Structure 1
Amino acid sequence: MLLKQIQYFLAVAECRHFTRAAERLFVSQSALSQQITKLENDLNIQLINRDTHPIELTPAGEDFRRGAERILADVNQLQENMKQWQEPQKHTIHIGMIMGLGGMPLSDYLAEFNTSYPEARFTLEHHLSKELCKMLLDGQLDFAIFAAPQNIDTYPFEILPIQQEPFLALLPIDHPLAKGRCLDLVSAKDEPFIFPTPENVSYDIFCAACKAAGFKPDVVSYCSGAANRMDLVKAGLGITLISESALHYHKAEGLPVLPLKHPIYKHTVAARLTAAPPSFHKDAFWNHLKQKLGIQ
């Protein structure tokens, strides 16, 4: 019995179809069928009932499948365990993040982790939150730090909350609504708005807030960069909403800033795939991150 035969059998067991299993494994259907037949001959047991459509496993095949899954899981775990003995460049951790993480000192976290695991290496890249979610789903990233979309619960992610910060209203100088202590979005239903582009999680949050206030916003400009939106407000083009951390990086320069009467928030989280395969260094980094964030 060969490991390749176990892998071939499990692919057929999952697909219930020889052709689709062969396509998944990038082998010919004849080669796949020959290996399965050889496995059955070596065991002297029929594992697959080929007369049904889709094909079905025999009772012996079901029993073999359960044992084969355990064997393959053990082999994968063994391979991951051995990675800690490879050369340092093999321990690269890929992290994607949004621009501006507020008060999260990620560079300090990475430096502290390297103190305990000097062989670990990191690659860091910036993208919008929705793109980070997609990259994490596609396996292009090991971890991502982003503003949680409103449907975050539908993603197969393990989530660590990092911070919650309110969005604030930024108004042109001498705007009539700037005289209040806070901004009720209802009172701004006829005002022009400057929103981030739809690729940005904040766009969905702002649209939902306006809908809850009973109106569809009149968006006169779409602009993802917080600094650019602030410039447009300064020019008197309209009102925008901006996070506290963005205000920290980009000064309002005399523009009226008001809290919202009914607050809405940006929830920054760290995430990894729930079904991520075990990895010595990646698991260690995730636990390190949990410890730094005070999460048990």
Structure 2
Amino acid sequence: MELRQLQYFMEVAKREHVTEAALTLHVAQSAVSRQIANLEAELGVSLFIREGRNVRLTSVGKILLEHAEKAVGEIEKAKEKIAEYLDPERGMVRVGFASSLAANPLPTIISAFRARYPNIGFQLKQGAYKQLIEAVIKGEIDLAFLGPVPTQEKDVQSHIFFAENIVALLPAKHPLADQPAIRLSDLHRDTFVVFPPDFILRKIVMDACAQVGFAPHVAFEGEDIDAIKGLVAAGLGVTLLPEVTLTDNVPRDTVKVPISEPNVTRTVGIIIPKNRELPPSEKLFYDFLKEFFSVLNKFSQ
């Protein structure tokens, strides 16, 4: 079984038409047909059902396609990795990030990195907290920005860049909107707008409220930070959010109010796999991040 045979097979499966596959591959139709026939002969099964000028996969063909896509994908990754080792400054960085870090600081970091390494590309994967941790462990990505930074995951190595406050976001007409700071217990009669149960930011809110002796009344749930901000702006509840999500975007008809008691914070940083080395381009990015935040923290002290 040759790589070229698998590539031809995958293209025919995708197009369901030998001629169209040949045109896409820039080879003669006879070459595609011959490679498919050789592959079927080697496996001893039919991979396609011929229906006039079209073809469709047999049940065995579907099995092969599933594994062929994985195999060819891994080979392409290997080729990319080898290219990175030959020239790390022309590779690709695959990084995951939580939605709460999408607007700030991620774009600033990538912009600064690209100024130094303009030929390195990025593949960005937004995901939920646990999904990103699993993606790093499984090797789907090699780095992930998270907040809070997990410290008990045995298969990842964590690096904390900074800690930030969790603040209250209130409707502008809320009775406490003009206060310089509030105690979290002051909100015990309010309705809350929060993330769904499997989101880490919801756990932060629920734990903080439990710390001061109440369980918040959840009126609305939303997976998107902007949607949650919008619900607060509409006067439908209050919420707690990381301060970084409000740095440049406090919605109209809302106010950001610090929480004086208790001190609610989260760490922000990155995780990488513990049991495998970072590819060269990712290693450049990881080292850059540590340098970037080290300098930033010195200036902010």
TM-score, shorter chain, exceeding 0.5: yes
* Moved segments of 4+, more than 4 Å: 79-90
Deviations 1:155-187 (A, max 9, x none): 432222223221211222332233533221222
Report if aligned partners of 1:171, 1:238 keep a CA contact under 8 Å in 2: yes
Q: How does 1:127-138 map to 2 (within 5 A)?
A: 127-138=127-138
Q: Does 1:108 align with 2:107?
A: no
Deviations 1:99-121 (A, max 9, x none): 22337722234314525xxx644
| Alpha-carbon separation, structure 2, partners of 1:96 and 1:278 | 14
How far 1:148 moved relative to its partner? 2.0
| Alpha-carbon separation, structure 2, partners of 1:226 and 1:159 | 25
What does residue 292 of structure 2 align with? Answer: 292
What does residue 68 of structure 1 align with? Answer: none
Report if aligned partners of 2:161, 2:290 keep a CA contact under 8 Å in 1: no
2:254 counterpart SS class? coil
| Alpha-carbon separation, structure 1, partners of 2:108 and 2:90 | 25
Report if aligned partners of 2:192, 2:217 keep a CA contact under 8 Å in 1: yes
* Amino acid aligned to 1:234: A
What does residue 244 of structure 2 align with? Answer: 245
How far 1:90 moved relative to its partner? 9.1
Q: How does 1:1-296 map to 2 (within 5 A)?
A: 84=84, 86=86, 91-98=91-98, 99-102=102-105, 105-114=108-117, 120-148=120-148, 151-261=150-260, 262-277=262-277, 279-294=279-294
Change (3 A) 1:235 1:293: closer
| Alpha-carbon separation, structure 1, partners of 2:147 and 2:187 | 25
* Amino acid aligned to 2:239: T
Task: Give me the identity figure in percent.
Answer: 20
| Alpha-carbon separation, structure 2, partners of 1:141 and 1:249 | 29
2:237 counterpart SS class? coil
* Amino acid aligned to 2:277: P
Q: Using the TM superposition, name which of 264-273 and 92-101 deviates more.
A: 92-101
Q: Using the TM superposition, name which of 198-207 and 88-97 deviates more.
A: 88-97
Change (3 A) 1:112 1:191: same
Report if aligned partners of 1:167, 1:266 keep a CA contact under 8 Å in 2: yes
2:213 counterpart SS class? coil
How far 1:243 moved relative to its partner? 2.4
How far 1:83 moved relative to its partner? 5.7
* Amino acid aligned to 2:152: D
2:182 counterpart SS class? coil
* Amino acid aligned to 1:114: Y
Report if aligned partners of 2:94, 2:282 keep a CA contact under 8 Å in 1: no
Deviations 1:16-60 (A, max 9, x none): xxxxxxxxxxxxxxxxxxxxxxxxxxxxxxxxxxxxxxxxxxxxx
What does residue 62 of structure 1 align with? Answer: none
| Alpha-carbon separation, structure 2, partners of 1:290 and 1:112 | 16
* Amino acid aligned to 1:111: R
Report if aligned partners of 1:193, 1:238 keep a CA contact under 8 Å in 2: yes
What does residue 43 of structure 2 align with? Answer: none
1:271 counterpart SS class? strand
Change (3 A) 1:129 1:113: farther
How far 1:284 moved relative to its partner? 3.4
| Alpha-carbon separation, structure 2, partners of 1:120 and 1:174 | 48
How far 1:144 moved relative to its partner? 0.9
1:154 counterpart SS class? coil
Please list every run of 5 or more consecutive structure 1 residues that lacks an aligned counterpart in the other structure: 1-78
What does residue 43 of structure 1 align with? Answer: none
How far 1:142 moved relative to its partner? 1.0
Deviations 1:83-142 (A, max 9, x none): 655588994331112322337722234314525xxx644322222333211211211001
1:246 counterpart SS class? helix
